[in-house]
Structure 1
């Protein structure tokens, strides 16, 4: 079995990158591999101070040395999840110095966008895509609404583009969707080294039957998630189509007020993972009206695993993952009438929806199980080791 070094900078709040890191660690250990981990956490930023953090974001000398010491263990692969801000790209160079192949997960768009999400004021923004220096982000204070913090990120990106870090020092990148892969190619990363490997669910949930008779939304209650579009669509629907909303966020009061004016609609607030999966099994459809690119939403994978079709905006990851007419339905983002029409169609066509349920579960089994993910991850590692071998042979 392989020895694998893994590296991750945790966020302030548990996010998709953090969950993937924890799940893939468990997956590798469960399959008999030996791991050594280096983790940092953003709560350390306060202790380091803003200036020191800004410098470390570009090149963390201490991280470089720490990575070299860890790699004296001689693993076959160094797998990086999030290096921002405290590990820094210096870690790649440490791995190269120790002759260890580098794999980098691309769970957000940080290498192309200082804000990481191609999102500004609740809408898609690609102003910095392909720029050597992402100056529009600096003008708009896209990272933490701070010009100084954004300048640190922008400088890190520009410096490492000049050094060709992204093109030459990373052996293989992992993108969660074909859409994300294409965006990174547009941003200048080498397409031949970007592999599409979707995220997964470590424990396979039991599929449901959709007999609850309601539509379900699960997610953050915020502008970019398309909450206002969904509520406007429901205001046009027949009151016999119930909706349940799970989540919290800045639009929570607006959601509560809307639900209170419309019978048959229920706001459930925060729910545990087990409670969410139980709701998904009972729901006729999951509504996913997001108006930004997303990464690969775990909510969609859980819905497919539950056998629940997804009505999703035709945008970014949602368009990549949901096949219209097979595992769900698409509508154009922000189009209220179109979303309402898709919901009406789903509730009026039970036989077609039942076929979609079977296809949704089949899609999960084909692409998003732990077993499939493990196989794909091993292929990525083999690709990275082969590329490193060829590079060393060339001198």
Structure 2
């Protein structure tokens, strides 16, 4: 099987980039021939928001690059992760025109929401889900604070509907969790083309020995940006005695440092090996994200490490935890008092944390470990290929 992976990398490396690299490596190790067509978002620096959004509608360069890559590699299937904004929706038209089936991974909610997060003013928002045009988001300027730029981004989603990307150009859509698939179906993606599978990930945290020392304190790993919920977490931590280690960087770093109590330690961005060591030492991971998220990688990595996670309720973390997601592991997003009480109660019971961590690791081994996910990825590709060059996927459920 030959798979062309298409991805436009982000200016700041994030979870989507990690998934693309991991999937390419694991597929190659399992006998799949891989070629990569990579764009780079660093090229958009200095360009206006409206111009970028308009570029996302159609790119002559993106169309030509995709056709050239297909002509050179002759893939059985094209797997698109991110084509926004520079490669653009033209990649789907190019693949369709050359008779190659397309799988698109839905890494964010861009097709349903201009800011891609389903988040407004710190609260989850679905006002544009199910609308043909994202009018409420345009009025509020949800993309970069600009109604004009938001209109252009909303036009990107609208154009995909109108030119048939949703119905004909994409053979199958890959949703990372059941809750995300449900939202996309309500938003207009054909339900019979939505297939749910977790991403293929390499888990260094699963290999890191604990060292025999008792686990201590709490750990946050992620981008320091408003949607990640650090404000309420740090407010909560004024009432929690245990130390909290924060790994990650982002635009909120200095402000968060200033508001943090003394027992919170900031470590900045760290390599994967250092994160794995931190997970082996911590007693609890905290994941306070205000938005739904798509597939929180740090929660899955913590499960692999036998580290329980206190998560924001109602988001994708519940899908990732699955049967390991007991009620004590969820707190109300943005509610500092609830986070304080839940974190303090968990950290006061080390034996229970060990039990919860072991349950999480068993759930990870059964559903998320590479041995459990590679077969599902190959089945997704085979199903797309069997759909034929006209993009008509089989109607059985994913």
Task: Tell me the TM-score normalised to structure 2 length.
Answer: 0.89
Answer whether contact 1:201 1:301 (CA < 8 A) is retained.
Answer: no
Superposed CA offset, 1:211-250 (max 9, x none): 232111122233322212212222233x3x2222222334
Say whether the 8 Å CA contact 2:171–2:391 is kept in structure 1: no
Q: How far apart are residue 290 of structure 1 and its match?
A: 1.2
Judge conservation of contact 2:246–2:265 (CA < 8 Å) in 1.
Answer: yes
Shift of 1:353: 1.9
Superposed counterparts of 1:315-394, under 5 Å: 315-323=314-322, 326=325, 329-388=329-388
CA drift at 1:102 = 0.7
Query: Which range moved further: 296-305 or 52-61?
Result: 52-61
Residue 225 (structure 1) aligned with residue 224 (structure 2): no
Give 1:153-168 correspondences, 5 Å limit.
Answer: 153-168=153-168
Aligned partner of residue 307 in structure 2, secondary structure: coil
Q: Which residue of 2 aligns with 1:28?
A: 27
**Alpha-carbon distance in 1 for matches of 2:50, 2:347:** 56
SS in 2 for 1:80: strand
Are residue 39 (structure 1) and residue 42 (structure 2) matched? no
Which residue matches 1:85? 85
Partner residue in 1 for 2:250: 249
Q: Structure 1 stretch 269-278 or stretch 376-385: which is displaced more?
A: 269-278
Change (3 A) 1:144 1:313: same
CA distance in 2, matches of 1:346, 1:192: 41
Cα distance, 1:152 vs structure 2: 2.1
Q: CA offsets, 1:17-53, max 9 Å, x none? A: 1221122122222223222322211233359887775
Q: C-alpha deviations, 1:127-166, integer Å up to 9, x for none?
A: 2211111122222222233344323211121122223321
State the shift of 1:382 in Å. 0.9
Match of 1:150 in 2: 150
For residue 214 of structure 1, what is the aligned residue in structure 2?
217
Across the two proteins, how many residue pairs are aligned to each other?
Answer: 389
Change over 3 Å in CA distance of 1:342–1:393 after alignment to 2 = closer
Q: CA RMSD in A?
A: 2.6
Shift of 1:325: 6.2
| Aligned counterparts of 1:85 and 1:7: Cα–Cα separation in 2 | 13
CA contact (8 A) 1:176 1:295 kept: yes
Q: Note the C-alpha offset of 1:380.
A: 0.6
Q: Is the 8 A contact 2:175 2:196 kept in 1?
A: yes
- 2: CA distance, partners of 1:325 / 1:392: 37
Structure 2 CA distance, aligned partners of 1:392 and 1:320? 29
User: What CA distance in whole angstroms lies between the structure 2 residues aligned with 1:106 and 1:393?
Assistant: 17
Answer yes or no: is 1:236 the counterpart of 2:268.
no
CA contact (8 A) 2:118 2:126 kept: yes
Q: Is the 8 A contact 2:138 2:151 kept in 1?
A: yes
Q: Distance in 1 between matches of 2:233 and 2:331?
A: 11
Q: How far apart are 1:348 and its partner, in Å?
A: 3.0
Q: Is the alpha carbon distance of 1:5 and 1:281 closer, same or farther for their aligned partners in structure 2, counting shifts above 3 Å?
A: same
**Does structure 1 retain, via aligned residues, the 8 Å contact 2:80–2:105?**
yes
Deviation, 1:107, is 0.5
Q: Return the offset for 1:5.
A: 1.3
Q: TM-score, with normalisation over the residues of structure 1?
A: 0.89
Q: Which consecutive residues of structure 1, in runs of 5 or more, have no partner in the other structure? A: none
Deviation at residue 111 of structure 1 after TM alignment: 1.0
Between 48-57 and 225-234, the greater mean CA deviation after superposition: 48-57
Residue 124 of structure 1: how far off its partner (Å) = 1.9
Unmatched 5+ residue regions in structure 2? none
2:280 pairs with 1:277: no
Shift of 1:54: 4.7
Give the CA deviation at 1:336.
2.5
